[in-house]
Amino acid sequence: MTTSRPPTSPAETDPGDPFLSVRDLGVRFSTEDGVVRAVDGLSFELRRGQTLGIVGESGSGKSVTMLTVLGLHEPRTTEVTGQIRLDGQELVGAGERTLQRLRGNTMAMIFQDPLTSLSPYHTVGRQIAEPYIKHTGASRRQARARAIEMLDKVGIPRAGTRVDDYPHQFSGGMRQRAVIAMALVCNPDLLIADEPTTALDVTVQAQILDLLADLQQEFGSAIVLITHDLGVVADVADDLLVMYAGRAVERGPAAEVLRSPQHPYTWGLLESVPRLTGDVDQPLAPIPGAPPSLLDPPPGCPFHPRCAHRQRVPGDACATERPELPVGRGAACHLSLEQRRTHVIEHRQPGLG
């Protein structure tokens, strides 16, 4: 068995096309300082009814990728290459009208800050009803009834009267619920949630995640969950994609990635999270340094300047040669599989996965 190609990848065993398929996606922004390669050669797939977790530090390209799927980037300064197929339809280079028909309808997005995601100038009900009217051609009255139904579904008490409230009359948790209601009003097949719970306190977090899981069961939607909370990923994600510097560095089934991570960056992420079952005297081990500038990413493996394990790779492969990410389960790293396995056994962290 070689490290780079497991005998069976999910794509080969699972029949049927994935609902969302991203292939070799590249996103570049022209800025005054030069070209930023925000996403570079990213590929992943997602099936209906499945949840894909994407983790990584700020600036690793998670949000940019998803904004690109929705076509919400600034077209004049952004260059997108590669393929994004949603239910067989190519989205890269698709016209604005096509994208408008899909947005809020087939694919919907929940942004991370519920406090700013709602317009302060319109009632919550109107903002929920708006995409419903646009995409289904419903009347105002039907759309209002639908907005009440959605608010009720996401757990807003007395939805019939709260529908006419303005966002500032809602609490933070209620606003995030309203944003979710807004995203789900047309029963989207793909729901992208960009850190949907970071702005909320922990009890509300759990409720929101339960809510997303319930809705997924009901409608069979595919969910992309962008987060840097590995605990959330462990709870809800089927698959996991770890991103660093605009690239995927590790991917696989979420439980497996968390149980036996194979990339030093993933190790770093896991070791910088405190654990309830861990030894209180053992200090957390944050990853040293900061994410690289995407104006001028480091050659070779983009993680090598911060990697504690690069001396274990013979030669200077880490600094010169870009490691490939194998199809299916795997990590983009020059360490041998044996070296990685040893590290995981030595640093086994109970509690996650």
Partner 1 sequence: MLRFLVRRTLGAIVILLLISAFTFFLFYAVPRDPALLACGKNCDSESVALIRHNMGLDDPIPVQYWEYMSGIVTGRDFAAGSCPAPCLGYSFDDSAPVWDTLVDRFPTTLSLALGGGAVFLTVGLGAGLIAAWKRGTWVDKTFSSLSLVLSSMQIYFVGPLVLALLVYNNEILGQPSYVPFTENPVEWFSGLLIPWCVLSVIFTANYTRMARATMIEQLQEEHVRMARAKGMSGRTVFFRYAWRGSLIPIVTIFGVDMGSLFGGAIITEATFALPGLGTLAVDSVQELDLPMTMGVMLFAATMIVIFNIIVDATYALIDPRVRLS
Q: Which residues bind partner 1 (CB under 8 A)?
A: 70, 72, 76, 96, 100-105, 108-109, 111, 113, 116-122, 130-131, 134-135, 166, 168-169, 179, 182-183
67 vs 237 by CB, closer to partner 1: 67
Instruction: Work out how close the CB of 114 gets to partner 1 at its nearest, in angstroms, rounded to a whole number.
Output: 10
H helix runs in 254-308, sequence order: 254-259, 264-271
Determine contact, residues 46/222, Cβ cutoff 8 Å.
yes
Return the number of the residue (138 or 337) whose C-beta is nearest partner 1.
Answer: 138
Q: Is 164 exposed, middle or buried (0-12, 13-18, 19+ CB in 10 A)?
A: middle
Residue 137 half-sphere exposure toward CB, CA atoms < 13 A? 0
CB of 175 to partner 1, least distance (A): 11
- Closest listed residue to residue 165, CA positions, set 123, 196, 128, 201: 123
User: What is the rounded distance in angstroms from the CA atom of residue 321 to the CA atom of residue 330?
Assistant: 17
Give, for 320, the enclosing helix (H) or strand (E): helix 317-320
To partner 1, the closest distance from the beta carbon of 104 in angstroms equals 4
In the complex, the smallest distance separating the C-beta of residue 289 from partner 1, rounded to whole angstroms, is 30
The nearer residue to partner 1, 112 or 266, going by C-beta atoms, is: 112
User: How many degrees, rounded to 5, is the angle at CA 159 between CA 158 and CA 161?
Assistant: 75
CB closer to partner 1, 191 vs 242: 191
Shortest separation between residue 79's beta carbon and partner 1, angstroms: 15
Nearer to partner 1, 86 or 108 (CB): 108
Q: 34-46 and 222-226 as β-strands: parallel, antiparallel, unpaired?
A: unpaired
Type of residue at 232: V
- For residue 182, the minimal CB distance to partner 1 (Å) is 7
Residue holding tokens 């300082």?
33
Single-letter amino acid code for the residue at 120: P
Q: What is the Cα–Cα distance from 270 to 204, expressed in whole angstroms? A: 24
| Closer to partner 1 by Cβ: residue 166 or 219 | 166
179's enclosing H/E stretch is helix 172-184
Q: Which is nearer to partner 1, 208 or 230 (CB)?
A: 208
What is the CB neighbour count within 10 angstroms for residue 129?
Answer: 26
**Beta-bridge partner residues of 244:** 247
Q: Which of 42, 19, 24, 6 is nearest to 256 (CA)?
A: 6
Closest approach of partner 1 to the CB of residue 73, in Å: 11
Residue closer to partner 1, measured from CB, 46 or 108 = 108
- Kindly tell me which of 27 and 333 has the beta carbon lying closer to partner 1: 27
CB of 331 to partner 1, least distance (A): 32
CB of 132 to partner 1, least distance (A): 9
Spatial distance between the Cα atoms of 343 and 353, rounded to a whole number of angstroms: 17
What residues have CB less than 8 Å from 66, skipping those under 6 apart? 54, 109, 192, 194, 224, 226
